[in-house]
Amino acid sequence: MNNLKEKFIEDSFNKLMKINNPELHKFVEKYLTLCNPDKIFVSAGTPEDLKYIKEKSIETKEEMRLKIEEHTIHFDGYYDQARDKERTKFLLPPGVDYGKYINWMEKDKGLEEIHELMKDIMKGKDVYVCFYVLGPVGSEFSIPTVQIADSAYVAHSENILYRQGYEEFLRRGPDAEFFRFVHSAGELDERMTSKNIGKRRVYIDLLDRIVYSINTQYGGNSIGLKKLSLRLAIHKASKEGWLAEHMLIVGINGLGGRVTYITGAFPSLCGKTSTAMMSGERLIGDDIAYLHKKNGKVYAVNAEKGMFGIIQGINSKDDPIIFKALHSPGDVIFSNVLVTEDKEVYWIGKDAPEPEKGINHSGEWYKGKKDEKGNEIPPSHPNARFTISLDMFENLDPGLEDPRGVEIGGIVYGGRDSDTWVPVEEALDWVHGVITKGASLESETTAATLGAVGVRKFNLMSNLDFLSVTIGKYIQMYLDFARDLEKLPKIFSVNYFLKDKDGNFLNKKVDKRIWYKWMDLRIHGEADAIKTPTGYIPRYEDLKRLFKEVFDRDYSEEEYVKQFTLRIPEHLEKIERITKIYKEISDTPDIVFKILEEQKQRLLKTREEKGEYVSPFDL
Catalytic residues: 270
Q: Is 342 exposed, middle or buried (0-12, 13-18, 19+ CB in 10 A)?
A: exposed
* β partners of residue 613: 567
Start-to-end C-alpha separation, the chain = 71
Rounded Cα distance between 182 and 99, Å, is 27
The helix/strand/coil state of 230 is helix
CA angle centred on 351, ends 345 and 356, rounded to 5° = 55
Strands 363-366 and 282-285: unpaired
Write the CB contacts of 570 (distance below 8 Å, at least 6 apart in sequence).
419, 420
CB atoms within 10 A of CB 329: 10
Dihedral sign of CA atoms 173, 177, 181, 182 in order: positive
Q: Which of 284, 616, 191, 558 is nearest to 424 (CA)?
A: 616
Q: Do the beta carbons of residue 181 and residue 228 sit within 8 Å?
A: yes
Write the CB contacts of 529 (distance below 8 Å, at least 6 apart in sequence).
426, 522, 536, 537, 538, 539
Edge-to-edge strands, sheet with 363-366: 345-346, 338-339, 357-360, 363-366
Q: Which of 486, 389, 312, 326 is nearest to 157 (CA)?
A: 389
Identity at 119, one-letter amino acid code: K
Q: Do the beta carbons of residue 512 and residue 275 sit within 8 Å?
A: yes
Q: Which of 465, 350, 460 is nearest to 413 (CA)?
A: 460
Identity at 300, one-letter amino acid code: A
Rounded Cα distance between 616 and 619, Å, is 5
Residue 534 backbone phi and psi in degrees, to 5: -115, -5
Q: Do the beta carbons of residue 312 and residue 351 sit within 8 Å?
A: no
DSSP H/E element including 56: helix 47-59
